[in-house]
Amino acid sequence: MGVAGAGSLAEVINTAIAGRDRFKTMETFFAGVGTGTKTGIWTPQIISRSGMGEAG
């Protein structure tokens, strides 16, 4: 890895730690996305066939 690699790794870790609050905010905002009826692409045609959600 070398000296430059170790310095880069430290920078990545410190940046991640500094962004912890921002990540928690985004995690809360996106909670539930990608699960249940929020999974995949729901086109108006699929919605009308499944009877779930609203088209458009």
> What is the 8-class DSSP label of residue 1?
-
Helix axes 20-29, 2-18, angle to 10 degrees: 50
The domain of 39 spans 2-50
Residue 55 lies in a domain: no
Query: pLDDT category, 3, cuts 50, 70, 90?
Result: low
Whole-angstrom distance, CA of residue 9 vs CA of residue 13: 6
The pLDDT score that the predictor gives to residue 56 is 46
Residue 56 lies in a domain: no
pLDDT one-digit tens code per residue, 15-47: 999 999 999 999 999 888 888 777 777 788 887
Count up the domains in the chain and report the number: 1
Residue 16 lies in a domain: yes
What element of type H or E holds 31? Answer: none
Mark out the alpha helices in 19-43 (DSSP H runs). Answer: 20-29
Residue 31 lies in a domain: yes
Contacts of 56 (CB under 8 A, 6+ apart): 44
